[in-house]
Amino acid sequence: MKESIDKASVEAARRIRDNKFVRGILTGKRRSTTPKFSRVDIRPVEIKGKVVLQVVSHDGKRDFTSNIDLDSREVEALLNSGFANIIVDSTDESYQVQITKKEEAIVGTSKTRLERTLTHDRTKERLLPESDSIFSLLGMADATGRIKPSHRDKYIQIDQLLRLIEPILEPIQSGAHLRVIDLACGSAALTFAVHTYLSKRFTVETLGIERDQELVSKDNKKLASETLTGIKFLNESIESATREKFELVLALHACDTATDDAISFVIDSKSSSAVIVPCCHQTRPSTVKESIAATPLLAKDGILYERFADLITDGLRAERLRQAGYEVEVVEFVPDEHTARNLLIRAQKSAP
């Protein structure tokens, strides 16, 4: 619903100071503003018995960390510093504000189930450590083997993807032979990372398909500079790729109808499982337009139209896989990003 920006900011500040507050994320920029940072993350921490707010500000290259008191007016200053997207998560509810180009605040809430952690220095074990040589190959790590600040989001994305693949791997015996294909693999950071991770437990054969010849050349150049085996890249479109059966099909951020081409590949090849992250939807199925026409309230505002259309489109994609005999889950991918298109479709062929 629409609210004044001032009212939305006051409510966001109140929630940040509440004892249920878990995290806050500020991104994007409002019209005619230039925030100093590209993103700000806020979370509560306990220091010397006192709860304060830890603020991590990102400028795309470096992270800047500071601590402020709960009652500090800096909270309001941050909320009103030009960011267009404000997310405030509590243990049981997410409060979301999007400020449009018309300087209107679109406000929404959704249920959450999060744990409030006040530990000051949190470290999370990643499935692929920062020191793995694959990240140096990809240009994501510095000379000391630490992920560069500018690539931190990509590193977290890779870790989350690997965790979402794990349920597919659980029934597979260690040492088994796996054939993996990444459709529309692009610059192949995720392709290399998945291959590296799987190779620690299985004998893996990975194929990357990309229609952009320049990207394929770059991917093969990376491959030539590293002693990786069992991986190759081909300059092909998804439509022209040979329909061979694979144990795992990846299609991550394949734009527009490329996601649908990837689903066709999965079904036609009778592959065992798939992990698909839809990207932009420029072409809408007629069913989507019919559904929106039947719900005129959601067609009046552009942002509601786009989100509703995205959900219907991805719902149809999931159902298409179900109808083809796959067990399907639609889950959130990289929740910290809180973007409109952060869904992941995980499909496994049902037992006959």
Condensed to tens digits (0 to 9), the pLDDT of residues 107-141 reads: 998 888 888 888 765 556 788 888 888 998 999 98
Q: What pLDDT band is residue 337 in, cutting at 50, 70 and 90?
A: very low
Tell me the DSSP string of 245-285: --SEEEEEEE-TTHHHHHHHHHHHHT-SEEEEEE----S--
Q: Which domains does the chain have, with CATH numbers?
A: 2-111 (no CATH), 133-349 (3.40.50.150)
> Within 10 A of 5 (CB to CB), how many other CB atoms are there?
16
Decide which of 282 and 40 is more confident: 40
How much is the pLDDT for 228?
A: 81
Q: What pLDDT band is residue 21 in, cutting at 50, 70 and 90?
A: very high
* Average pLDDT for 250-267: 89
Model confidence pLDDT, tens digit, residues 157-182: 899 899 889 888 878 888 899 999 99
Decide which of 286 and 313 is more confident: 313
Long-range contacts, 221-229 (Cβ 8 Å, 24+): 222/137, 222/138, 222/188, 222/192, 225/137, 226/133, 226/134, 226/137, 228/192, 228/195, 228/196
How much is the pLDDT for 35?
A: 86
How much is the pLDDT for 51?
A: 94
**pTM higher than 0.85:** no
How much is the pLDDT for 340?
A: 47
* The pLDDT of residue 60 is above 70: no
Decide which of 293 and 336 is more confident: 293
Model confidence pLDDT, tens digit, residues 63-119: 788 999 999 999 999 999 999 899 999 999 999 999 988 888 999 988 888 888 887
